[in-house]
Every structure is written in structure tokens, then in C-alpha cells.
Amino acid sequence: MKRLAVIQIRGLINTPKEIKDTLKMLHLTRANHCVVIDDRPTYIGMLKKITPWVTWGEIDRDTFEAMLRKRGRLVGDKKLTDDYVKENTKFGSISEFVDAFMNFEAELEDIPNLKPVFRLTPPSGGYKSIKKHWKEGGDRGYRGEKINELIKRMI
């Protein structure tokens, strides 16, 4: 199994209710929001359905740790810190948690009050085209390992 980062790249104006519901199930409510999920068939089916609104791919350990450190938020919009992780979980630091998370030994829910959504900024340099699929030179759809480059531009 792999961890997938899913980023919503389009807004919800004139979006069918069925698509809005699927995005809501994934906690994606606004453009440039990101969630990290696994690649079980249920999620893959959801991603195929919402392809015109999102881009996704396999996130690597370093990118996930950077995103957690910079964009990880607790309830009350407080930043996630090593101290908080050490005091409230069995992990000694964010790095230890990331190692366990990437090996499927932990989930985001293991950190109490951690929000499941990462609010990213628009990518520096902008999107190529949110109307074309990744294979056609655009930005939406499955992009594999290249998702890490996009996330680094958005952190």
C-alpha cells in the first residue's frame, strides 16, 4: 500500500452535488486544500470520480514531514510541534510519527486534535492548466511521484 496526497485544484462553483458530496467525504472543501489517504480501492474509485477537480499522487516521507511541520494545524489553528506530539502521543517527535505513518503503523487520528486537512497556498509559478489532465500537460488527475514537486511549491 501507498500513501496518496490529494489536492483540490478547482473551486466548487457549478459543481454537481454528487461531486461535492465526494469531495466533502474526503474533507476537501476549498481549492488548494490537501489530504493524505491510502490507496485502498474505495478511495481510488472516489478519486476517479472527482478527477476534474483534484490532482493526486504518491507522497514521499520528506514532503509529508515538511507539510506536517509547516501546515499541520490543531483545533484552534495552533501549529503542530514536536513538543505537542511528544506530550500527547506515543511518538517522541514529528519525525518518529512520520516514519510510523508512512509504514502504516500510525494514522493522522493518532495525534489528538490534528485537523485532517492541510491548507496550502497556491503553487509558486502557478498551475499550468486546471482544465487539462496531467497527461495532456495540465494539472488535474493522477501525477504519481510528481505530486511532491507540486506540494513543495505550495507549502
Position 42 scores a pLDDT of 96
Q: What is the mean pLDDT of residues 90-98?
A: 96
> Residues 94, 131: one domain?
no
Q: Under DSSP, is residue 96 helix (H, G, I), strand (E, B) or coil?
A: helix
In a domain? residue 143: yes
pLDDT value at residue 22: 97
How far is it, in rounded angstroms, from Cα 50 to Cα 147? 17
**For 98-137, how does the pLDDT look when each residue is reduced to its tens digit (9 = 90+)?**
999 999 999 999 999 999 999 999 999 999 999 999 999 9
Mean pLDDT throughout 127-149? 94
Q: Mark whether 125 and 102 lie in a shared domain.
A: no
**Res 46: pLDDT:** 97
Examine the domain organization and report whether 50 and 12 are in the same domain: yes
Alpha-carbon distance of 155 to 152, in angstroms, equals: 5
Indicate the DSSP class of residue 116: S
Asked if residue 80 belongs to a domain, the reply is yes
Based on the fold, state whether residues 79 and 53 are members of the same structural domain.
Answer: no
Same-domain check for residues 102 and 124: no
Amino acid (one-letter) located at 10: R
List, for residues 47-90, the tens digit of each pLDDT value: 999 999 999 999 999 999 999 999 999 999 999 999 999 999 99
- Residue 49 structural domain: 3-60+118-154
Note whether residue 17 is domain-resident. yes
| Residue 92 contacts residue 98 (beta carbons within 8 Å) | no
Task: Count how many domains the chain has.
Answer: 2
**Do residues 119 and 72 touch, judged by C-beta distance below 8 A?**
no
CB-based contacts of 20, cutoff 8 Å, min separation 6? 12
DSSP state letters, 68-80:
HHHH-EETTTEEP
Are 123 and 47 within one domain? yes
Query: For residue 133, what pLDDT is reported?
Result: 94
Same domain, 106 and 124: no
**The pLDDT value given to residue 121:** 97
- Sequence letter at residue 120: L
